[in-house]
Amino acid sequence: MTGLGGGAAAPGDYVYFKSVVPLHKISGYRVISIDVPQVWNHHEWIHSFEKFLDSMNIHHVHICGTSLGGFLAQIFAQYRPRRVKSLVLSNTFLETHKFAAAMPWSPLVSWTPSFLLKRYLLTGIRDGPHEPFIADSVDFVVGQVETLSREDLSSRLILNVNVASVGSLSLPDSFITIMDTNDYSAVPRQLKDQVNERYSSAKRAVLRTGGDFPFLSRPDEVNLYLQLHLRRV
Domains, the chain, in order of start with CATH, read: 12-231 (3.40.50.1820)
pLDDT at 154 over 90: yes
For 127-133, what is the mean pLDDT? 81
User: What DSSP element (H or E) covers 51?
Assistant: helix 42-55
pTM, two decimal places: 0.87
Amino acid code (one letter) for 1: M
User: Burial code of 122-135, b = ≥16 C-beta within 10 A, e = fewer?
Assistant: eeebeeeebbebbb
* Per-residue model confidence (pLDDT) at position 2: 30
pLDDT at 9 over 60: no
What percent of the chain shows pLDDT beyond 70?
Answer: 94
Q: What's the Cα-to-Cα distance from 49 to each of 83, 90, 101, rounded to whole Å?
A: 11, 20, 27
pLDDT at 4 over 50: no
pLDDT at 17 over 80: no
What's the CA gap between 174 and 167, in Å, rounded?
18
Least confident stretch, 4-13, 31-40, 166-175:
4-13
